[in-house]
Amino acid sequence: MPYIKPERREDIHVNKGKIFEIIRLSSIQSAGELNFAITVLCGDYLDLKGLSYQYVNEVIGVLECAKQEFYRRVAVPYEDEKCMENGDVYPWAEKSLDNMKK
């Protein structure tokens, strides 16, 4: 959640209102603070463009696409590596894939 302590917000969100100058990445120390930084960026985008269905929908679309791409490019290869390293915990999934290939 982006609801972090106000003093941490001030450390991360500098030059309020200047998009691309708002986030001090080296100050982010937790998932909550990363969420706050992303929330601020989205909010500043809406401040810049205006609050409308179109722009809210754009932000949601961008977040969804970024999530999916991050999952595809970072999480999947990491999980595949750990599966090979430590063994599969979904043995029935491999059987299902084998059956689909036939």
Q: List the structure tokens of 60.
A: 């949601």
Taking a C-beta distance cutoff of 8 angstroms, is the pair 27, 7 a contact?
A: no
Query: Tokens 């708002």 correspond to what residue?
Result: 22
pTM of the model: 0.69
The DSSP result for 56-75, as a single string, is HHHHHHHHHHHHHHHIIIII
Give per-residue pLDDT as tens, 13-46: 665 555 455 567 778 889 998 898 899 889 988 9
* Chain mean pLDDT for the chain: 83
| Extents of the domains making up the chain | 1-51, 53-102
